[in-house]
Structure 1
Amino acid sequence: MLTKDLSGKRYKLGALSVMLAVVLSISACGSGGNNSASTNGGSTSESSSTTTEPAAPSSSDSTTTTETKLTAVTQVTNWFAEPEHGGQYAAVSKGFYKEAGLDMTLQSGGPGISSTQIVASGKAEFGMGSADEILLARQNGIPLVAIAAIFQKNPQGIMFHKGKYKDLSELNGKKVYVGSGSAYWEYLKKAYKLDSVQELKYTGSLANFVADPESATQIYVTSEPFTMQQQGVEVEYFLNYDLGYKQYGNILYTTEDYIKNHADIVKAYVEASIKGWMYYKDNTEEINKVMQEKNPDLKLESMAYGAKAQEPLIYGGDAEANGVGYMTPEIWESLQKQLVDIGMLKKADPISSVFTNDFLPAKS
């Protein structure tokens, strides 16, 4: 779950606390295997055309035409429209979902909105989240399955003032603004022996970080560094993935039940989404303007920075050889082991049920 303060900065709450809240709220709900396309009230959404498309006339003189109905589906993102969702909005804007037979509604995430909860309750077919959220959800009885990893490297990181630190262990004794209970932070504290760090609650504001040159703060590398650049504050950052917490980001997921009953729709959704991400790579300015209509608070300059910063995280790594969205069992198993080691997972279940590459398009 993400949340946002009035200044427009975003931050991520601890995945464990999110999962506990989800479990409580859906304890009376099913596994989300129906075909509902309803949305959560209060959030913005974008839909592809809801009209049906006539088929080409037959060779006869008959004026009768047949209509191909689009299948209505909903995907919940993990925040308001931003570059991290560029491929999804491109797929709507350019008609890729419609071409795949889908009437797609993109429902924005935001304060108080959990995509895992909405998908698990059957109010949306697809969601977007991080790898640790998928594992924690499954432990708590929510049978989510990752069907594509948009980010090969999750864009979460730790930012500090330029030149201050060369190793994360140097943060001992310093103030660090971070969401309590975050899985990645629990891992980093243990891995880097941060036993005397001054852990302070991250509120979304960077004012305290700016005022204290010895401090550090959690960030998305696609966002906060640009904010600091605009304020003339020189910063550097560690990417959590490079620190050893290797997890995928902006994972597209659905439920086991939905895959079982609607594999053709899942494949159409994934292929159209990946097509959108390939389009966004070369047409960011066009799609950023589309997203800004949905999220006017986010300036085009900031979106341009984010799109550039996330390129190697999306299109690099295993995606170079295997295509956008590709996942490996090694990454999933390593993350699962880390969550077990820090006590956030009780045990390591077979990873084969957690993710699948079966719906990804063949790499050309």
Structure 2
Amino acid sequence: MKSHYVLRDFRTLLFVVALWIPWTVVGATCVIKDKVSLQLNWLWQAQFAGFQAASSLGYFDEECLSVQIRQGEATFDGLSEVSEGRAVFGNAWTSGVATTHSAGTNLTVIMQQFQRSGMRIVSRLRPDIQTFQDLDNKTFSGWMVNLLDVSPRAAFTKHNMTNVNLVPQSFTPFKLFATDGTAVDAVSVMVYNELAQIFEVRNPQTGMLYQPDELKIFDLNTLGAGMLEDNVFVRSDWLEDEENKNITRRFLRATAKGWIYCRDNEEACKSMLYDHGPHQEWMMREVNRLIWPSPLGVGFMDPGLLNTTLNMLNITGHLHHTSSPYPLSDSSYMRWALDSLESQGYDVRGQNWSKSQLHFCMNSGETAFHVCDDIEATICPAGYSAIAANQCVPCPPGSFAPHNGTGNSCQACPPGTFSSQNGGLKDPNDYLDEPGGVLCSGCPSGTRVGADGRVICGKVGFEDSLVHLIVANKALVGAWAGAMGLAGFLFFYIKRTEPTADAVIMPSAVASILETILDAVFLNLLVQQGRMNYFAIAVTGFGGHFLLNILIVGVFIHHEFRLGSVRRWTEQHVNALPPVVMLSVMNPELLGILSSKVRGWKWTQAPFSPKGLAALRFSTFAAFVAGKIPQVCVEILILQRDGWHLDPFLAAVTTLALLTKGVIHYFVLNILILYKKRRGNMSSKGSQNGSSLSNIGHVEAGRKVSRSCNLDPGRLRDELVLAKRRVKELEELLRAHGDVENASFPPVLATGKLDDHSPSPLSQGLRDVTNKPNGGSEAGLEV
């Protein structure tokens, strides 16, 4: 008797040690990892995310397990791999395990992760299919392999539907929508896969994705024909070994942790898969809905649901009733794992978990679907937007929603337009914003916008339109005015401080830069607004203007280089020519910088001929006008089509560019300079004979000094110094032409000193200069 108690105590000690060992594995360093394999029932997808999470997050490693997870295929699955000893753990539907077990194969379910069936029967919304019984005498397409047709057949039998025509189904459910005469009335789908495939396809009749309310979906769970599906099983004889029992407990504890993690972190578990798309996001949610809540604990077999599954298999004749020494299901291992996790604070039941089905959206203008919430998935008519699930409200006045569908949002109407329900014209005195606008209407061409939220489309005069145009483009007009102010300032500053310089050149450079910027802005606006026909016209003018400028520059340089003086100057200042030539592509007139005579800088003393410079100015202006004509045509077309109100900025750019160059630059500056030169020619014989810009400059300087004789002596002396500098320039010019003998000047101009006894020394000096043989002739001064 004593030995009996001793033996019983020893067995109790071994049992306690066996229970203690797995507990101590967690957090400890593994000396040796037990290698096992898990064979999945199908390809990698979110259906198996819990196993992937347990592997990726190191839960198997914590249990000292090295788990090889194999994906399944159509040719083999978990049942065959485990039964034949090529895998330790298998994943399959419980109906398959039960049928195999009833045929004498020793298999035991140790974990039942799916707590409800994921199979549905789907038909299109039709008047003749309102209830499940309406499918009698209809054609049903179902999977006829691997016992996947058991649930539908059981449902038909339970509801006395004896005339359903069953046909085989492929992997996809789209025979439901076939238009080639092979369409069926209903199909079988898995809620986490094929049902999503339907919702991911655009309905050709509506232009939107298929919506749940366009289908009739029958849940086999509510029809009393739901069978248990995904589980984990092993060979029953493998479990007889105590070490294998220990491995099983640890495997189930890690797997349960993986499913708990995916319940609380759907996005993270989806990211662990090779496919991160919206389809897997849908599947992850639906798989969780099949697992959670788990009233008995995740993975624990519900005996009532198991009996329902066995009854359906029995009714449909799939059980063989071969006796087996091993049970079909053993939940003791799962119970140990759940108790262990609960003691560590894990929520193994998820009683409070309740998440709704996701939605797919492919809104207007989109080409790919995405997962969306209830609000975005709400279909609203044009002019309405969703504020809650299945609740649409009209767009407020001044906004519009142009399309019918999901993702509708009210957008503000552009300035100068009013929200309209139908786009029709109304009383010109009542252009008010309407609620529920489907588009934004504008005033007809030739009218303009009012203020204070009202759109007054009344006819107005040109002056009023121009004022409105300027007000609507304050920023652009301000920038333009600033640039023109800078050009004017440079003109008067150079004119005052550099009397010998050509004061037009620097303002021309500023105007050219502004003109190029305006052209670029104009073309960019046309592209942004999709006005490619207008863009083609405008860019033709822009490109033509550019090519004409290149031609003008080439002809001018070719003409001037025929003169020996220009060639000699170029040899001495070869570095000054290339950058100015490149700049002159914007405005050929900028070549005049090289002869602008600024501060005595040698590189600005190019002896270009006056005729060449005059031709350069005229050609530049002609090219400008030719290049602007297409842009002006585009502006007129826009104004005629849209009116001032729609695009005042776009309509104004060309006008401002034209004003910038044509009015300010060519009209004001050039006309003033030509007028001043004309006055000089009428009052000076010397200037009539002198045809070069240098000669005109000397005569003008002399005239200034003459007019200053009766003024302030200090200013007179400054003018004389300036005149002396110009006389020296003329002397160098004469020497360059070989007329060194005649290159002598009166002392008053050579020294800059006044002779009190000379009645008019300056006038005499100028007469000497201009009347010398060849001194002012065109032949002697030709450059």
Instruction: Give the TM-score of the pair, scaled to structure 2.
Output: 0.36
Q: Does 1:250 align with 2:227?
A: no
Query: Where do 5+ consecutive residues of structure 2 fail to align?
Result: 1-26, 202-208, 343-783
Partner residue of 1:237 out of 211, 217, 221: 217
SS of equivalent to 2:233: strand
- Give the structure 1 partner of residue 83 of structure 2: 120
Partner residue of 2:253 out of 252, 259, 271: 271
Q: Quick one: distance in 2 between partners of 1:324 and 1:120?
A: 25
Q: Quick one: distance in 2 between partners of 1:351 and 1:156?
A: 32
SS of equivalent to 2:333: coil
Instruction: Tell me: CA distance 1:352–1:123, structure 2 relative to 1, closer, same or farther (3 Å).
Output: closer
* Residue identity opposite 1:308 in structure 2: R
Deviation at 1:198, TM superposition (A): 2.0
CA contact (8 A) 1:228 1:235 kept: no
* Residue identity opposite 1:239 in structure 2: D
Query: Where do 5+ consecutive residues of structure 1 fail to align?
Result: 1-53, 57-66
Deviation at 1:239, TM superposition (A): 2.5
* Residue identity opposite 2:194 in structure 1: E
Q: Quick one: distance in 2 between partners of 1:341 and 1:55?
A: 50
CA contact (8 A) 2:154 2:312 kept: yes
Q: Quick one: distance in 1 between partners of 2:184 and 2:229?
A: 29
Q: Quick one: distance in 1 between partners of 2:238 and 2:200?
A: 45
Deviation at 1:287, TM superposition (A): 2.0
- Give the structure 2 partner of residue 199 of structure 1: 166
Q: Does 1:342 align with 2:316?
A: yes
Deviation at 1:214, TM superposition (A): 6.5
SS of equivalent to 1:322: coil
Q: Quick one: distance in 2 between partners of 1:167 and 1:242?
A: 13
Matched ranges for 1:74-85 at <5 A = 74-85=37-48
- Give the structure 2 partner of residue 176 of structure 1: 140
- Give the structure 1 partner of residue 306 of structure 2: 332
Deviation at 1:119, TM superposition (A): 0.3
CA contact (8 A) 1:187 1:338 kept: yes
- Give the structure 1 partner of residue 68 of structure 2: 105
- Give the structure 2 partner of residue 151 of structure 1: 114
CA contact (8 A) 1:144 1:255 kept: yes
Of 120-129 and 246-255, the range deviating more from structure 2: 246-255
CA deviations 1:82-107 (Å, max 9, x no partner) are 11101000000001011111101110
CA deviations 1:258-277 (Å, max 9, x no partner) are 21111001111111100000
Q: Quick one: distance in 1 between partners of 2:125 and 2:36?
A: 45
SS of equivalent to 1:238: strand
Deviation at 1:351, TM superposition (A): 11
Instruction: Tell me: CA distance 1:349–1:333, structure 2 relative to 1, closer, same or farther (3 Å).
Output: farther
* Residue identity opposite 2:152 in structure 1: W
* Residue identity opposite 2:237 in structure 1: D
CA deviations 1:316-362 (Å, max 9, x no partner) are 2xx1x321112122222222122222221144969981112211221
CA deviations 1:196-230 (Å, max 9, x no partner) are 22211101233321137871111110112222112
* Residue identity opposite 1:267 in structure 2: R
Q: Quick one: distance in 1 between partners of 2:106 and 2:125?
A: 43
SS of equivalent to 1:68: coil
- Give the structure 2 partner of residue 289 of structure 1: 271
CA deviations 1:271-291 (Å, max 9, x no partner) are 110000001112222221221
- Give the structure 1 partner of residue 281 of structure 2: 304
SS of equivalent to 2:226: coil
Cα-Cα RMSD? 2.5
The answer to which structure has the higher strand fraction is 1
CA contact (8 A) 2:120 2:219 kept: yes
- Give the structure 2 partner of residue 322 of structure 1: 296
Of 240-249 and 274-283, the range deviating more from structure 2: 240-249
Q: Quick one: distance in 1 between partners of 2:284 and 2:28?
A: 38
Deviation at 1:166, TM superposition (A): 4.1
* Residue identity opposite 1:75 in structure 2: L
Q: Quick one: distance in 1 between partners of 2:80 and 2:194?
A: 28
CA contact (8 A) 1:125 1:254 kept: yes
Larger Rg: 2
Partner residue of 2:178 out of 211, 223, 244: 211
Partner residue of 2:192 out of 222, 227, 234: 222
* Residue identity opposite 2:259 in structure 1: W
* Residue identity opposite 1:307 in structure 2: M
- Give the structure 1 partner of residue 627 of structure 2: none
Instruction: Tell me: CA distance 1:211–1:260, structure 2 relative to 1, closer, same or farther (3 Å).
Output: same
Q: Quick one: distance in 2 between partners of 1:102 and 1:331?
A: 31
Q: Quick one: distance in 1 between partners of 2:158 and 2:84?
A: 36
Q: Quick one: distance in 2 between partners of 1:348 and 1:236?
A: 40
* Aligned residues with identical type, % of pairs: 18
Q: Quick one: distance in 2 between partners of 1:134 and 1:351?
A: 15
How many residues align structurally?
294
- Give the structure 2 partner of residue 24 of structure 1: none
* Residue identity opposite 1:300 in structure 2: G
CA contact (8 A) 2:142 2:168 kept: yes
- Give the structure 2 partner of residue 73 of structure 1: 36
- Give the structure 2 partner of residue 280 of structure 1: 262
SS of equivalent to 1:75: strand
Deviation at 1:249, TM superposition (A): 1.9
CA contact (8 A) 1:145 1:255 kept: yes
Deviation at 1:81, TM superposition (A): 1.2
SS of equivalent to 2:137: coil
Instruction: Give the TM-score of the pair, scaled to structure 1.
Output: 0.75
Instruction: Tell me: CA distance 1:104–1:93, structure 2 relative to 1, closer, same or farther (3 Å).
Output: same
Deviation at 1:121, TM superposition (A): 0.8
SS of equivalent to 1:359: helix
Q: Quick one: distance in 2 between partners of 1:183 and 1:214?
A: 19
